[in-house]
Amino acid sequence: MKVEAVRGMTDILPQEALLWQYVEAEIREAVALYGYREIRTPIVERAELFARGVGEATDIVHKEMYVFPDKKGQMLALRPEATASVVRAYIEHGLYAKGGVAKLYYLGPMFRYEKPQKGRKRQFHQYGVEALGSLEPALDAEVIDLAWYIMERLGLRREGLFLRLNSIGCPEDRPRYREALREYFLPYREELCPDCQRRLEENPLRILDCKVPTCQRIAADAPRSLDHLCEGCRGHFETLLRYLDALDLAYELDPKLVRGLDYYTRTVFELASRDLGAQDALLGGGRYDGLAEALGGPPTPGVGFAGGLERLILVLGERDVSDRCHRIITGPEVYLLPVGETETAEALRILARLRRAGIPCDMDYAGRSLRKRLQAAARSGARYALFLGEEELSRGEAKVRDLASGEERYVPTEELVAFLKGAS
Ligand code: AMP
């Protein structure tokens, strides 16, 4: 029986991986320009980190998290997202002690047991930034500007994208807003889906992002969090809007945007693509001023976002970006064709030397007819084929054929690096 990949977990094959490398390199460069430095946290964490951080009643933790006991019975989880891990690491390593704002970014696989579909996988990849240590709305604005800048660098047109924005207030506002929502939804209780009936008790905010059409219809007229903000939160939001205007960044206020993670406070946003259909969010984020404290650290405000690489690739896959992959090695420049064992030994020495000189090269390992080997050389995309026969070797030379023009010349093997460098 064939062993296949797990449902919802996808192989990224070499041709597509080129696009991934390009996108990842652009993201790394973009975030570095904004002052973010990389943090790499483990893929496996204690399950309780996400229960406490993301929230027990969220879909992500309640329904979608991969949880398993280790050999000692400790409950572990494959990370479903990285903000909780980054904040855990921030606390654990006392990064707050340095003062100021800590700007951290990550990139890597996340796991959620969701129904796989276009743009929704069980193993997927996120990049994200977290700025910890400031309540200033200027930081929210800068984070949103960074989200736009990443899209810009990748060549996505602004008109094809839009920003959904909302403020869900602080923990002091939350009970009042929850109550208003509960009062509103209670008469519709029987019409809500079973999940939302549970949410009505546990956290009625979650009903707002339910995907079931009936629930969405009922939620359309639900009370808006913006109408339940305290003065501080309202001021924060208004200042943020002014900063976004100053940056010339458009937004659409979306009262139903609450995001599926409990740790958010105040600002929440999503950057979406008009070309993606149902799963249109390219990235999502917001402020999480209570998270560090909830995880046992000193009270530390934070703001950030996470974006899905699969969705970016989907949007970019439609266009040809091969010219932008130029910095990535895509194939050999030189293809070696040794004839026997002695020549193969020499070929291995030449390959080692060329690679150390930064020249991508490969050789024919299949030992077939000359015609087949020449075909392999042409298929490799190399510019030169390098023939090593008994005769050439006895003179310390190799025959170099330009595969485009067919032109041939003999080059002393000691001078190959200089010759090939000169030719490029
Ligand atoms: P979230 O962590 O749920 O706020 O999601 C942030 C971003 O990650 C989304 O906007 C998507 O781009 C991406 N994302 C979330 N879940 C998945 C998934 N199952 N498959 C692919 N991308 C995802």
Q: What percent of the chain has pLDDT over 90?
A: 79
Cβ pair 164, 274 in contact under 8 A: no
Q: Which atom of ligand 1 is nearest to the CA of 80?
A: 2
Cβ pair 151, 161 in contact under 8 A: yes
pLDDT in the model for residue 259? 80
CATH code for the domain defined by 14-173+229-316? 3.30.930.10
Query: Does residue 124's CB lie within 6 angstroms of at least one atom of ligand 1?
Result: yes
CA–centroid distance, 270 to ligand 1, in Å, is 11
List all residues 6 or more positions away from 237 whose beta carbon is below 8 Å from its beta carbon.
137, 167, 226, 229, 266, 267
Q: What percent of the chain has pLDDT over 70?
A: 97
Name the band, by pLDDT with cuts 50, 70 and 90, for residue 211: confident
List all residues 6 or more positions away from 101 whose beta carbon is below 8 Å from its beta carbon.
131, 132, 133, 134, 139
End-to-end CA distance of the chain: 49
Q: Which atom of ligand 1 is nearest to the CA of 285?
A: 4
The distance of Cα 355 from the centroid of its chain, to the nearest Å, equals: 31
Measured between alpha carbons, how far is 261 from 81 in angstroms, rounded to an integer? Answer: 10
- 3-class secondary structure, 346: helix
131-162: per-residue pLDDT in tens?
999 999 999 999 999 999 999 999 999 999 99
Q: Whose CA is nearest to atom 11 of ligand 1?
A: 308
Cβ pair 201, 174 in contact under 8 A: no
DSSP 414: G
Mutation pick for ligand 1 pocket among 279, 312, 313 (CB with most ligand atoms within 8 Å)? 279
Spans of all domains in the chain: 14-173+229-316, 334-423
Query: Does residue 126's CB lie within 6 angstroms of at least one atom of ligand 1?
Result: yes
pLDDT in the model for residue 321? 64
Q: What angle do CA 303, 307, 309 make, to 5 degrees?
A: 155
Measured between alpha carbons, how far is 349 from 249 in angstroms, rounded to an integer? Answer: 56
Mutation pick for ligand 1 pocket among 62, 124, 209 (CB with most ligand atoms within 8 Å)? 124
Tokens 């003065």 -> residue: 231
Rounded to a whole number, what is the largest CA-CA distance in the chain? 93
Cβ pair 144, 269 in contact under 8 A: yes
Name the band, by pLDDT with cuts 50, 70 and 90, for residue 391: very high
Q: Residue 389 corresponds to which tokens in the numbers above? A: 């026969």
Does the 334-423 domain belong in CATH 3.30.420.40? no
Mutation pick for ligand 1 pocket among 115, 129, 311, 313 (CB with most ligand atoms within 8 Å)? 311
pLDDT in the model for residue 24? 96
List all residues 6 or more positions away from 190 whose beta carbon is below 8 Å from its beta carbon.
none
CB atoms within 10 A of CB 394: 8
Name the band, by pLDDT with cuts 50, 70 and 90, for residue 424: low
Measured between alpha carbons, how far is 24 from 309 in angstroms, rounded to an integer? Answer: 8
Measured between alpha carbons, how far is 48 from 396 in angstroms, rounded to an integer? Answer: 66
DSSP 291: H
The reply to whether domains 14-173+229-316 and 334-423 share a CATH topology is no
Measured between alpha carbons, how far is 116 from 121 in angstroms, rounded to an integer? Answer: 5
Name the band, by pLDDT with cuts 50, 70 and 90, for residue 222: very high
pLDDT at 320 over 70: no
Name the band, by pLDDT with cuts 50, 70 and 90, for residue 304: very high
Query: Does residue 310's CB lie within 6 angstroms of at least one atom of ligand 1?
Result: yes
